[in-house]
Amino acid sequence: MLAFAALTGPLPKVGVIAVALLVAVVLLTRERRTRALATLGALVLSPVLLLSAIWNSPQLHIVHRHPLYALVGGVLAVAVLVGLARLVAPRPAILAPLAVLALPFRIPIQAGGNTSNLLVPLYLVVAVGSLAWIVPALRDERPAGPAPDGSGGWAVWVERLLAASVVLYALQAVYSPDFTKALQQTVFFYVPFALLYRLLRDLRWTPELIRNCLRLLVVLALAFSVIGFIEYATKTIILNPKLVVANDLHTYFTVNSVFFDPDIFGRFLALSMILIAVLLIYDAAQREHAVVVVVLAVLWAGLVLTLSRSSLGALLVGLAVLAALRWKPSRALVVAVVVILLGAAAVAATPRTFGLNQGINGASSGRGGLVSGGVSLFGDRPVWGYGSASFVVEYRRHNRRTATALSASHTIPVTVAAEQGLIGEVVYIALVICALICVVRRSRGDPVRSAIGAAFAALIFHTMLYADFLEDPVTWTLLAVGVTLAVARPVADPGSGRVRRQTAAAA
């Protein structure tokens, strides 16, 4: 009770900055003991900050009435985490498939009067993995993580910019008109995803581990597509009442599978298809090619049923990057131009199908207005912005007649500009450029690195039309794997006399 009382007033803002600084230490330090203490501090401080923000919400009334039960429940939860951590500690590589398995699943939870779809299974994986790493690390003074090679400069800058992004977000939350949301974004997204990044960076991504993760991804994507097919056949939607209403109002029917939003489902399918498609353009058995084609056809059908134009665009971008890294870029460019021209012809022939008869703003589901409104907000405060997580509040305040149903900006660069001004925009652009260079540089001929680079490029494109960059765990996961492979030391292949990377040719 004293701890919660101490976090009233201005102190939660100090707490958000403190937990962001702990995350920065986790991302930047190579001294194991220091990083272990910072990780432990972030794990402890994050739930305390969250509870302080929602202490007076109806969800915690039972805690107020029965504090002893809450205490016992908390102790049991910690005991379960410690027990699971002891099981994971001898075999840390299991964290990779566990993370892949947990990434898609979100559970609706009420916090602070709002219902959020939270990645609770992933939080469990992060907590267990962190605890499994902390105890032995506290006894070891060796540097954490592998020493980088020639690509390490870009990797170092990626992690510096990730740390800067988290700390800057916390600092700019201090003057945000929606500090509670900024706090929740920090606790629910930035802190656990940064810890996940560090856990995955420490793993040795062997060909076997990568293959196992890819197989698990294929199974998940197929299962989710089947659920989407069932939704479409039965005209039944789960998890999203708003989508039920939207489908009732339109002639078309959009599916979302186990995801809350069709665009999130579409993003998952598009990225999965890019990672799987690499098997078609590199040497593989003919039978394997046939299986991959069938899998891609099923996932394509599921993607079409989402009607997510941003996901379709992301898929094309990812495939174009994949082709450019496999063959001559000029060939990929020619194919891309042909696809664009065919798409433009289809749009011109049937504008109603794509909503162009409603104008650009209508065809983009109102995102044109969001972009112009965000640019206007940026113009009002071009240097420091309105504060982290402030876009929805400020957009509604400036556009009271048209923003009643607004829940996001759907364009990450505009969101960053409006909320964090030039300061945040410079950090964001630098992070995107450095990350792209790091994951793509010298990846030609390496199927795994090419797939990761193409998927990351597709993800960036999707954030330009939808939302969620650092708020998406897939971003941190792709970066963790891509950066690790980029700094992996080349090793000689005694069988052929060639030099290859430890993790190359995993497909």
| pLDDT one-digit tens code per residue, 353-389 | 545 545 444 444 556 667 888 888 999 999 999 999 9
Is residue 377 situated within a structural domain?
no
Q: Is the pTM of this model over 0.85?
A: yes
Is residue 80 situated within a structural domain?
yes
Is residue 288 situated within a structural domain?
yes
- Together in a domain, 348 and 466: yes
Query: How many angstroms separate the CA atoms of 326 and 320, rounded?
Result: 10
- Together in a domain, 10 and 92: yes
- Together in a domain, 11 and 47: yes
Query: How many angstroms separate the CA atoms of 243 and 255, rounded?
Result: 8
Strand partners, 115: 110
122: amino acid identity, one letter: L
Domains in the chain, number: 2
- Together in a domain, 111 and 140: yes
Query: How many angstroms separate the CA atoms of 117 and 448, rounded?
Result: 31
Q: What's the pLDDT at 135?
A: 86
- Together in a domain, 167 and 228: no
Query: How many angstroms separate the CA atoms of 242 and 240, rounded?
Result: 5
Is residue 405 situated within a structural domain?
no
Is residue 311 situated within a structural domain?
yes
- Together in a domain, 288 and 343: yes
Is residue 421 situated within a structural domain?
no
pLDDT above 90 covers a percentage of the chain that reads 53
- Together in a domain, 93 and 141: yes
Is residue 359 situated within a structural domain?
yes
Query: How many angstroms separate the CA atoms of 379 and 467, rounded?
Result: 21
- Together in a domain, 182 and 245: no
Average pLDDT over residues 17-27: 96
Query: How many angstroms separate the CA atoms of 406 and 369, rounded?
Result: 11
Q: Are 144 and 35 in contact (CB under 8 A)?
A: yes
- Together in a domain, 273 and 193: no
- Together in a domain, 251 and 163: no
Average pLDDT of the residues of the chain: 83
- Together in a domain, 197 and 259: no
Is residue 328 situated within a structural domain?
yes
- Of 306 and 361, which is predicted with more confidence? 306
Domain containing 316 equals 207-363+441-487
Backbone φ and ψ of 498, nearest 5° = -90, 165
- Together in a domain, 235 and 338: yes
Kind plus residue range of the DSSP H or E element containing 109: strand 107-111
